[in-house]
Structure formats: C-alpha cells, structure tokens
C-alpha cells in the first residue's frame, strides 16, 4: 500500500525481539565490512534498547562480533549535562555498550551536552554523518509523545540536528531517573527527522503496554509532525519491533 511501507514484527517478549535484531545487526556489520567499508550505526538510549546492547556485548564476548570497523552516531543528548553526569547519554552508552566492546573511541559520536556553540556543533554533527557515508542502520525508540530521537510534536519531516525544547510528558518520564522533575534538563540536541529518515534502514523498538497507544498512532494514524514516528510509514526500509503488549492496540 503506498505510504504504508513500514513492517510490523511482533515478538513473544522483548528479549526475543532484541536477540533477533542483534543477530541482524551482526549480519549487517559483517556484510558492510566485507564490502570494504566501516558499518555506520545510529544508536538510541532509554530503557528499551538495554536488552539489545546486552545481547550485542554477549555476541562480542562469546561469538566474535567485532566493532573494530563500526562507526556510531547517537540520536541525542541532554543540553547542559557534562559527559560524566550519571544521566548523560554519553554515560549511558559507555556503560551499556562501548566500555564492553572493541569500538575505537574516535568512531563514537554523541551530540555534546555542553557545546561551545550549539548551531556550529549541530552542523558539524550533520557533516560527520555525511563524511561517514550516511547511516546504514538507525535504531529508534519511541516516547509517549511519539518522538523519535527528541523530535517532539511539531518537528518537521525535513528537520535537521538542532536544539529542541523537551515536551512536558518527556520530562515527566525522565523525572524518576533524575531524582525529580526540576532536575530534568529542559532542552536537548537531537538529530532531526530528516537526518533520521536518511538512514538506509530503520528499526524502532517499543515494548510494554505503556507504549501501545502511541505505537498504534505511529503505525496506523496519519503521517504527521505531531507524531514524528509516523514518518517511518514513508520510509522504504523501516520496521517496528514490538512485544505483544506494545502491539495490543493494532487493528
Ligand atoms: P524509553 O524511552 O526506552 O526509556 O521508553 C524511549 C524514548 O523516549 O524514545
């Protein structure tokens, strides 16, 4: 059906979904490396991808998966946080994945939480993605606002990496981790919808009943900047990896 090209893949549970995707990513890394270049992965943070990173670390330790020829670009970072802040996405990614695999530090890209100049930093981030040859696979989660990255409602289809004000719902969802709503940053840097949609392949993970309503909107609702994940409907190679609970409102 035109305009509805994204695939929906429903799994028994989140572990099975993450194991499946990790296996596919290992295959993608091998294929791209065999073609003579580094594999470029777009990565995501949050609770959702934690089992995926755990499985990628296991594949590295037990099955020889190497990240020596992998380049990564994370979707976003909170503005105002130093790298070493416990809730920075820099800290998250190193704890969950980078500290446990053989990736070269210079191949890791995460937007800066405290850039000298935000506009310059965002433009350089876009340029670094282009210089790497574009993103082969972009991992995504979905917020209750429908955001991918931190592309909150109103983020245009062609938006690029930029500073964004976090939606109140997004800040509320982060309040426990930060030890209170007043501790949650008000702004972030995020790749834009246009940046994300240029990836050759997209995989969005969503688990649990809390995500069921927004997952239905993203997959079956209108394609709109009010739900940035709905833009995946127009991408030629995008898949939603869901558990049964997250899929329960699909028609
Ligand atoms: P979560 O966040 O994985 O912690 O639910 C997802 C998101 O906001 O993109």
Atom of ligand 1 nearest to the CA of 144: 8
Checking DSSP bridges between strand 187-190 and strand 76-78, what pairing results, if any?
antiparallel
* Residue among 158, 169, 182, 180 nearest 210 (CA): 169
For residue 5, pLDDT over 70 is answered with no
Q: Whose CA is nearest to atom 1 of ligand 1?
A: 46
Which of 17, 43, 48 is the pocket-test mutation for ligand 1 (most atoms within 8 Å of CB)?
Answer: 48
d(CA 135, CA 183) in angstroms, rounded, equals: 33
Residues having CB within 6 Å of any atom of ligand 1: 46-48, 141-143
Q: What is the pLDDT of residue 6?
A: 73
d(CA 216, CA 168) in angstroms, rounded, equals: 21
Q: How far is the CA of 240 from the centre of ligand 1 (A)?
A: 14
Please calculate the CA angle 54-60-65 and round it to the nearest 5 degrees: 125
For residue 1, pLDDT over 60 is answered with no
- The average confidence (pLDDT) of the chain is 97
Above pLDDT 70, what percent of the chain? 98
Checking DSSP bridges between strand 201-206 and strand 187-190, what pairing results, if any?
unpaired
Residue range 179-198: average pLDDT?
98
**Concatenated DSSP letters for 179-202?**
TSGGGS-SEEEE--HHHHHTSSEE
Q: What is the pLDDT of residue 4?
A: 58
The secondary element (H helix, E strand) that includes residue 164 is: strand 162-165
- How many CB atoms lie under 10 A from the CB of residue 117? 9
């Amino acid at each position: 059906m035109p305009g509805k090209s994204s695939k929906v893949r429903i799994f028994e549970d989140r572990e099975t979904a993450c194991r499946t995707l990790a296996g596919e990513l290992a295959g993608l890394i091998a294929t791209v490396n065999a073609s003579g270049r580094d594999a470029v992965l777009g990565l995501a943070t949050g609770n959702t991808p934690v089992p995926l990173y755990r499985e990628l670390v296991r594949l590295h330790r037990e099955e020889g998966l190497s990240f020596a020829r992998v380049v990564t670009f994370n979707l976003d970072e909170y503005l105002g946080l130093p790298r070493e802040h416990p809730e920075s996405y820099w800290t998250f990614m190193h704890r969950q994945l980078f500290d446990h695999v053989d990736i070269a530090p210079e191949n890791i890209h995460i937007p800066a939480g405290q850039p000298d100049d935000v506009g310059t930093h965002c433009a350089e981030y876009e340029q670094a993605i282009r210089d790497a040859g574009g993103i082969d696979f972009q991992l995504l989660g979905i917020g209750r606002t429908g955001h991918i990255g931190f592309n909150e409602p109103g983020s245009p289809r062609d938006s690029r990496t930029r500073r964004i004000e976090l939606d109140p719902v997004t800040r509320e969802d982060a309040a426990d981790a930060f030890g209170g709503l007043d501790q949650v940053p008000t702004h972030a840097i995020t790749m834009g919808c246009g940046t994300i949609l240029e990836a050759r392949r997209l995989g969005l993970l969503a688990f649990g009943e809390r995500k069921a309503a927004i997952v239905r909107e993203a997959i079956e609702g209108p394609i709109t900047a009010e739900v940035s994940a709905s833009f995946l409907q127009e991408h030629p190679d995008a898949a939603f990896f869901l558990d049964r609970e997250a899929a329960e409102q699909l028609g």
